[in-house]
Structure 1
């Protein structure tokens, strides 16, 4: 009886030790290399890049939760995360011009109607463009405002040296949306 109890204590101790190790290792982040930092700085200086979006993260409202509970989302998707792989989602900077054609999965507060965009679409020169480097958190923030027809957007990009990033979009007519993915460097056209 004592041997069996002793073995159970050893097993529980081992499990606790392993779980502690796993939890501690999840909190460890690696520092970016000098090469990764230089690549990111050059990318933001040139402003020729696009996002390869993996997930959309809408604000999980009661309506979206009801749709998910009714089984109207694809397998693996839910009210707070939708897989975008294989979609035609576009978000890119080409010098001074930014283009977006993103699916929208949230609620629209007002506006829209016939012949209006169902997704988030804009193309133009961003206003109030601000690029900020955060050394402590090892990333860049890109903030700007842009308008398309009667809808205005506040856009916040977070880009890491690993070229992973997020896009947060606040709209004047819709609930906020967040997109996650990786950044691809576009070829900078040669000046003639």
Structure 2
């Protein structure tokens, strides 16, 4: 009987450290959040990321959910390319224009401000026909808000996500 008891005690003691090493859901969630925060910080530090718009809020308008997730702003320290929809008032823009905010240009005056819960990222880009002030508020979970001010259009803001550019996007630039 004592042999069975000693084997049972031995099995209990050997399995106890394995149980103690398992992480709780809260710890796993915190580790995942920390990993995502590090990933976002690396993208911003490298100044290479893609913003995908999911919602748009024109000045004085209602929130519009974008069903087509092909609207983007690709940011690189050398060039910014943008294809976002525009809903709002435009000044000095022709009637035969495409109606969206589409431009390519070199970013200037890049400013990054890191806070405890988000990163503020600002830059100015001169497109072919307009100058755009881009203001990002990037949260560490990967969501972001982009506000666009330009000379020829009313201010507008977009909600979406920040992600790393894919290999084919890097080669296209």
Global fold match (TM > 0.5): yes
The structure with the largest alpha-carbon Rg is 2
> Residue 102 of structure 1 is aligned with which of 68, 84, 97?
84
Which runs of no fewer than 5 residues in structure 1 stay unpaired?
Answer: 1-29, 61-78
Q: Deviations over 1:76-108 (max 9, x none)?
A: xxx411111215312111342211111100111
> Residue 94 of structure 2 is aligned with which of 101, 113, 116?
113
Q: Residue 47 of structure 1 contacts residue 96 of structure 1 at CA under 8 Å; is this kept in 2? A: no
Task: Tell me the CA shift for residue 159 of structure 1.
Answer: 0.7
Greater shift, 34-43 or 96-105, is seen at 34-43
Which runs of no fewer than 5 residues in structure 2 stay unpaired?
Answer: 1-29
Greater shift, 39-48 or 173-182, is seen at 39-48
Partner of 2:35: 35
State the alpha-carbon separation in 1 of the partners of residues 154 and 133 from structure 2.
12
Task: Tell me the CA shift for residue 171 of structure 1.
Answer: 1.0
State the alpha-carbon separation in 2 of the partners of residues 112 and 187 from structure 1.
33
Instruction: Give the TM-score normalised by the residue count of structure 1.
Output: 0.65
> Residue 159 of structure 1 is aligned with which of 124, 138, 145?
138
Q: Residue 104 of structure 2 contacts residue 128 of structure 2 at CA under 8 Å; is this kept in 1? A: no
> Residue 126 of structure 2 is aligned with which of 147, 151, 171?
147
SS state at 1:40 partner: helix
Q: Which runs of 4+ in 1 moved over 3 A?
A: 114-117, 187-190
Instruction: Give the TM-score normalised by the residue count of structure 2.
Output: 0.72
Q: Residue 48 of structure 1 contacts residue 187 of structure 1 at CA under 8 Å; is this kept in 2? A: no
Task: Tell me the CA shift for residue 116 of structure 1.
Answer: 3.8
Superposed CA RMSD in Å reads: 2.4
